[in-house]
Structure 1
Amino acid sequence: MRPIWKWILGIIAAIIVILISVVWYYSRNWKPIVETKLKEVVYNSTNGLYSLRYDDLDLNIGLGNVTLTNAELIPDSVVYQKMILSKDAPNNRFHIKLKALKVRRFNLMDVISKKKLNIKSISFEEPNIHLLSEHHSFNDTISNKPKKTLYENVKDIFSSVNVKDINIEDVKFKYSKFEEGKQSSIDLDKITIKVHDVLVDETSLQDSTRFFYTKMVDVDIPGFEYDLPDGFYKAKFKGLKINTRDQNILLTDVVYQPKMNKASFYKQKNQNVTMAVMKFDTLRVERLDFKALIDNQQTIASKVQLKNGTVDLYADKRYPKYPIVKVGRSPHQQIMKMKKLLHLDTVVVDNISITYHEMSGKFFREGSISFNNANGVLTNVTNDSLALKKDKYMRADLRAKIMNAGNIHMKFGFDMLSKTGHHTYSGTLGAMQATSFNRILAPLLNVELASGNIKKISFNMEGTDRKNWGEFRFDYSDLKISLLNKRDENGEQSSKKVVSYLVNHLLINDSNPDNKGVYTIGKINYTRVPEHTFFKTVWQSLLDGIKQCAGISKEREAKLMGTAETGKDVVEKGKHIVEGAKDVGKKTGNFIKGIFKKDKKSEEDSKQ
């Protein structure tokens, strides 16, 4: 008798041979069935829009593995045109190519006995995805015709489909947008996509913990650069991470800037328009409603954060300006005009420096004003009419260091439902030296502040599309200005000492309160120039308050800027008159009386 272990080994070997033979037989005979069903599901579930092609299908029922080699999902352009005519066409189409699609560890018995397809993992090798986007207005309206869900398309074959993990690495992605007969494209490379726990059954679509049947979609895009269709600007970032489970989007090293340098930008534009350069280390969106974004292009999020960045705005007055009416274009009015829903609970500004640069068209020098290390929050940033019925104000509370010297704190309140663009703004500026503002005054106005101690500024304002009004307080001392001569051949620039002396002693209040203890409060009632932007109107309104506190009426300002050179000529010519100092004094005195003398009535009004 043979040893028993030989019988056991013989039985095991026989079982293995039988199993292998059964698996081989069913693999060969099931392969055409699976192929037919697979292509049928793709065709029927997309109403004939897509077809599936591949070179080979390797089916191993014993291990529960399937591999598609050189697979391709192809949209049918003829079917798509028919769907456009019947107003059933989606806005987006996909053309997908794969070197291999690998399905691992599915349970055949569950498929046969329970019509349940359970898969451990699916992986895509060398995927190439082309998204074609073509907007159709009929998709903006609510259709009475119900659309089949993914479950409804597969329920005749499977009662449920569950995939634990899907891994898509090194994706080449192309986005093509067709609009008004023009095509623009974006190309991305080396994208990684991970999808966890996909469940398609009768209830999964209504599961609030899932995003389109999934528990999580994680996307990592290592870098991107895109030339905008306007031909002037480009946008880029170093990294983009998207996680639907955490509902977060993270962009790093974000840049929006012209494709050319500043000189080329203005030469090509040939007009004085604002040029913007924006850079941020971090742009983060938290608690974003991805479903609303994808389904309806609505942006609904709990928090948006801009961190560690710069915003540089440029103007060049050497080029012509073609002004347009800016009434009705205030920030809150622009938000209300947006076609898609926007609802951001909070926007956080964290360490952002904003600088405005302007090239003088008269003196050909660039001046700038900066708000450094700005921090703050904007709340209730929305055009949602239902939310605005509860609270109609968008608010902004911001702090920065103006000219990197004085601490400025400003608050804005925007009435989002106002038909006249009503808004409020208030603020304070702490102690600083007035000479810090020479960075913008000298290049643009050929005027410097020789000295000045700003102790405090405070204001409380309201505004509409047409008017800004309110109260302005300016506490300062030892304010002296210096009118400048033109630069000589060596680039040196001297002051107009005599005229500057006259201006400082006869035109400007050197302190507030003055040496008699009289305190001047600015009473602002500013009429907006229709071509001015919202922020330029805010600045002009505050500047009006500064001038009032400094004792500069509109008439005296015009004389200061327009006739200072004449004043110098009077003094210089007087030196050559035979009667000498007496005649100089007489002519200078007449000049002072005629040009720089204060209007008593306006002076009294400003001190009330």
Structure 2
Amino acid sequence: MKPIWKWIIGILLLLIIGVVCVGWYYSRNWKPLVEEKLKETVAKSTNGLYSLKYDDLDLNITLGNATLKNAELIPDSAVYQRMVQAKEAPNSRFHIKLSSLKVRRFNIWDIIKNRKLYIKRIEFDSPDIHMMSERHAYNDTIQPKETKTLYDNIKDVFSSINVKDIEIENVKFKFSKIEEGKSSDIVLDSVGIKVHDILVDEASIKDTTRLFYTKMVEVEVPKFSYDLSNGIYRAKFDRLVLNTQDQNVLLTKAEYAPKMSKAAYFKARNENITMAVMKFDTLRFEKLDFKELIDNQQTIAQNVQIKNGSVSLYNDKRYPKKSVSKVGKSPHQQLMKAKQLIRIDTVFVDNVDVLYGEMSGKFHKEGVITFTNAKGTLTNVTNDSTHLIKDKMMRANLSANIMGSGLLSAQFGFDMLSKDGYHTYKGTLGRMQAPAFNKILTPLLNVGIKSGNIRKVSFNMQGNDHRNWGDFRFDYDHLKVDLLNSMGEDMSRTRKGILSFVVNNILINDSNPDANEKYHIGKVNYRRVPEHTFFKTLWQSLLEGIKQCAGISKEREAKLMGAAETGKEVVDETKGVIKKTGNFFKGLFKKKDKGEEEEKKDEK
């Protein structure tokens, strides 16, 4: 080997030994300084609310690595209570534990020379995060004092801090919501968190492409299930993914439903309170403002997508129902009463099935009405009064197949600023066979539709807290009603046939236009029953239009319903007519007796 290479190798070895020695020296002598500075920075940057403790700090200056073992970030409850009394406490605080925190590839020379800290990667091992949320009214009403930024708190030590990637796997996360001294908890296991490109410097706080100094935070939560406080309902989902850079949140297999069967639900509540079951394969928020959501619990998004799901509502009239006024509780009025601000430009609904089922209190049978493959949009979904000054209307444009047959299209308009809940609704129903509605009519009213062609239905209605009014058009032909036996009622086939004949030929029009070519238009002016919900009031107003088009007056309706329940009243009322009619035909065709024949011969 030539002498020159011996010198080069020797110099390199001396440099390596020198670097190792310097690294060892700084690691040993800087460790206490770093520990002191680290704890001081945490306490100072949080105004004494948090303290940091750990078992050991493994610092390798040469490689640019550091490891905290058994680290814990602890909130001071006494400090927090003092902040509450001073009206300076935040709504949320955290208690964090982890087995180790590994900092990889930082440049000590850049810290010494430029006071800049660059870290390539940080890894958290088995983190346990407890978030406690306690809402304080002053955070909503009092203008917050000008507080120091994170940069203000670290600028005496570093001119900038840049962390390229943070990865946190298998996080155990507990969220405790504290209200009136009581705590309700949500626990998540195996959460994954990725954070990309954290930059803390003089300008980064004003960078609109960053959320809390980061370019991107991605969180993935696997299977989750939570029993709601009433102990009856459970909320769950299969997967949640949020990405702050894309501003998206995705929920798959989301479900809200009772933990028991329908029978057990109503038995447990011992009251006719609507049971709701909601399931959606996909629930997605797009362009969601995470900063407003985190800081102020405000839901502001460009779009929400609800795809491939179902909404089922059930009632059981065998149980008593509280007589409570529903006035002022329409959907848009409830939205305006929500405590948190909501502003969503458009909600897209795609392939959602809606079912309403009701158990009859008289006949103990369940009737159902279905709206399948519902799709459409809701726009301007907000309770933001400042936004509503520009456009006060929330709108819905939806379509669905009713009873799996006719296409129903409807448009709703909700005046969000109306004091009496003003709204409009109009729509059309295409061709379908009327007997499709027997699934709800027969179990609930003991009436069946034998035949009938619905050619078209159209309506244009308005409503408020007290009444609904508007025009209703119903084009149909060959409508025949079949009255069924009530429970325990023994009615002969002949009597039942007579009863149905009377109903079909006297009480209702079998077509519109009717036999006299008169077209009937429903002029609806329906006064709301205060105890009826918004949707029941809507249905009752449309039903009023149907009855007017079918020529069913209040008197006729009373007879029809009476016939459906027992069949006696109408039969009794028609006995005389039928008897007289029968005698008339009998008189025309009966054989004359011999005396009458002989008298006629004598007269001749």
Q: Which band: TM-score by shorter chain?
A: over 0.9
2:559 touches 2:570 (CA, 8 Å); kept in 1? no
Note the 1:176-191 alignment, pairs <5 A.
176-191=176-191
Residue of structure 2 in register with 1:44 after alignment: 44
Structure 2 residue 47 is the aligned partner of structure 1 residue 72: no
Residue of structure 2 in register with 1:421 after alignment: 421
C-alpha offsets along residues 349-372 of structure 1, whole Å, 9 cap, x if unaligned?
100000000000110010000111
Residue of structure 2 in register with 1:145 after alignment: 145
The structure-2 alpha-carbon separation of the partners of 1:144 and 1:88, relative to structure 1 and needing over 3 Å to count, comes to closer
Q: Post-superposition shift, 1:143?
A: 3.3
- Matches of 1:495 and 1:194, distance apart in 2: 76
- Matches of 1:529 and 1:453, distance apart in 2: 32
2:424 touches 2:461 (CA, 8 Å); kept in 1? yes
- SS state at 1:535 partner: helix
Note the 1:101-180 alignment, pairs <5 A.
101-180=101-180
Residue of structure 2 in register with 1:340 after alignment: 340
Q: Post-superposition shift, 1:560?
A: 1.7
1:571 touches 1:584 (CA, 8 Å); kept in 2? no
C-alpha offsets along residues 162-210 of structure 1, whole Å, 9 cap, x if unaligned?
1111111111111111111211111101111111110111111111111
- Matches of 2:570 and 2:340, distance apart in 1: 64
- Matches of 1:21 and 1:202, distance apart in 2: 36
Residue of structure 2 in register with 1:255 after alignment: 255
Which residue identity lines up with residue 21 of structure 1 in the other structure? C
- Matches of 1:446 and 1:432, distance apart in 2: 22
Which residue identity lines up with residue 130 of structure 1 in the other structure? H
Which residue identity lines up with residue 324 of structure 1 in the other structure? V
- Matches of 1:9 and 1:246, distance apart in 2: 52
Q: Post-superposition shift, 1:336?
A: 1.6
The structure-2 alpha-carbon separation of the partners of 1:499 and 1:47, relative to structure 1 and needing over 3 Å to count, comes to same
What runs of 5+ residues in structure 1 fail to find an aligned partner?
A: 589-608
Residue of structure 2 in register with 1:479 after alignment: 479
2:162 touches 2:200 (CA, 8 Å); kept in 1? yes
Q: Post-superposition shift, 1:587?
A: 12
Q: Post-superposition shift, 1:337?
A: 1.7
The structure-2 alpha-carbon separation of the partners of 1:496 and 1:47, relative to structure 1 and needing over 3 Å to count, comes to same
1:433 touches 1:451 (CA, 8 Å); kept in 2? yes
Identity score, percent: 65
Decide which moves more: 73-82 or 424-433. Answer: 73-82
- Matches of 1:298 and 1:400, distance apart in 2: 32
- SS state at 1:30 partner: helix
Residue of structure 1 in register with 2:535 after alignment: 535
- SS state at 2:389 partner: helix
- Matches of 2:560 and 2:107, distance apart in 1: 90
C-alpha offsets along residues 67-104 of structure 1, whole Å, 9 cap, x if unaligned?
11111111112222222222222111111111110111
1:498 touches 1:568 (CA, 8 Å); kept in 2? no
- Matches of 1:78 and 1:403, distance apart in 2: 62
What runs of 5+ residues in structure 2 fail to find an aligned partner?
A: 585-604
1:483 touches 1:495 (CA, 8 Å); kept in 2? no
Residue of structure 2 in register with 1:407 after alignment: 407
Note the 1:266-285 alignment, pairs <5 A.
266-285=266-285
The structure-2 alpha-carbon separation of the partners of 1:495 and 1:266, relative to structure 1 and needing over 3 Å to count, comes to farther
- Matches of 1:544 and 1:71, distance apart in 2: 70
Residue of structure 1 in register with 2:353 after alignment: 353
Q: Post-superposition shift, 1:3?
A: 3.7
C-alpha offsets along residues 107-153 of structure 1, whole Å, 9 cap, x if unaligned?
11221121111111111011111111122222222335222211111
- SS state at 1:140 partner: helix
- Matches of 2:65 and 2:488, distance apart in 1: 84
Residue of structure 2 in register with 1:306 after alignment: 306
Residue of structure 1 in register with 2:228 after alignment: 228
Structure exhibiting the larger radius of gyration computed from Cα positions: 2
- SS state at 2:545 partner: helix
2:563 touches 2:569 (CA, 8 Å); kept in 1? no
The structure-2 alpha-carbon separation of the partners of 1:470 and 1:581, relative to structure 1 and needing over 3 Å to count, comes to closer
- Matches of 1:90 and 1:259, distance apart in 2: 36
- SS state at 1:43 partner: helix
- SS state at 1:363 partner: coil
2:399 touches 2:410 (CA, 8 Å); kept in 1? yes
Residue of structure 2 in register with 1:505 after alignment: 505
Q: Post-superposition shift, 1:429?
A: 0.2
- SS state at 1:496 partner: helix
- Matches of 2:381 and 2:567, distance apart in 1: 53
Q: Post-superposition shift, 1:252?
A: 0.2
- SS state at 2:552 partner: coil
Q: Post-superposition shift, 1:9?
A: 2.5
Which residue identity lines up with residue 318 of structure 2 in the other structure? R
Q: Post-superposition shift, 1:286?
A: 0.3
- Matches of 1:292 and 1:2, distance apart in 2: 70
Q: Post-superposition shift, 1:38?
A: 0.4
- Matches of 1:116 and 1:343, distance apart in 2: 41
The structure-2 alpha-carbon separation of the partners of 1:384 and 1:494, relative to structure 1 and needing over 3 Å to count, comes to farther
1:220 touches 1:241 (CA, 8 Å); kept in 2? yes
1:484 touches 1:494 (CA, 8 Å); kept in 2? no
The structure-2 alpha-carbon separation of the partners of 1:574 and 1:456, relative to structure 1 and needing over 3 Å to count, comes to closer
Q: Post-superposition shift, 1:10?
A: 2.5
TM-score (norm 2): 0.93
- Matches of 1:280 and 1:360, distance apart in 2: 29
Decide which moves more: 101-110 or 351-360. Answer: 101-110
Which residue identity lines up with residue 36 of structure 1 in the other structure? E
Which residue identity lines up with residue 146 of structure 2 in the other structure? P
- Matches of 1:219 and 1:31, distance apart in 2: 34
- Matches of 2:256 and 2:536, distance apart in 1: 23
Q: Post-superposition shift, 1:538?
A: 0.8
Q: Post-superposition shift, 1:459?
A: 0.6
Residue of structure 2 in register with 1:238 after alignment: 238
- SS state at 1:390 partner: coil
Which residue identity lines up with residue 134 of structure 2 in the other structure? E
Which residue identity lines up with residue 171 of structure 1 in the other structure? V
2:562 touches 2:569 (CA, 8 Å); kept in 1? no
Q: Post-superposition shift, 1:2?
A: 8.3
- Matches of 1:547 and 1:569, distance apart in 2: 21
C-alpha offsets along residues 361-398 of structure 1, whole Å, 9 cap, x if unaligned?
11001000011100000111112223222211111100
Residue of structure 2 in register with 1:218 after alignment: 218
The structure-2 alpha-carbon separation of the partners of 1:116 and 1:455, relative to structure 1 and needing over 3 Å to count, comes to same
Residue of structure 1 in register with 2:193 after alignment: 193
Residue of structure 2 in register with 1:379 after alignment: 379
2:363 touches 2:487 (CA, 8 Å); kept in 1? no
Residue of structure 1 in register with 2:551 after alignment: 551
Which residue identity lines up with residue 227 of structure 2 in the other structure? D
Residue of structure 1 in register with 2:61 after alignment: 61
- SS state at 2:14 partner: helix
C-alpha offsets along residues 574-596 of structure 1, whole Å, 9 cap, x if unaligned?
99xxxx997465899xxxxxxxx
Q: Post-superposition shift, 1:472?
A: 0.5
Q: Post-superposition shift, 1:330?
A: 1.3
C-alpha offsets along residues 232-263 of structure 1, whole Å, 9 cap, x if unaligned?
11100000000001000000000000112211
Q: Post-superposition shift, 1:566?
A: 6.5
- Matches of 1:152 and 1:516, distance apart in 2: 87
2:508 touches 2:550 (CA, 8 Å); kept in 1? yes
Q: Post-superposition shift, 1:494?
A: 11
The structure-2 alpha-carbon separation of the partners of 1:512 and 1:378, relative to structure 1 and needing over 3 Å to count, comes to same
- Matches of 1:572 and 1:531, distance apart in 2: 36
Decide which moves more: 302-311 or 562-571. Answer: 562-571
- Matches of 1:473 and 1:124, distance apart in 2: 67
Give the length in aligned residue pairs. 583
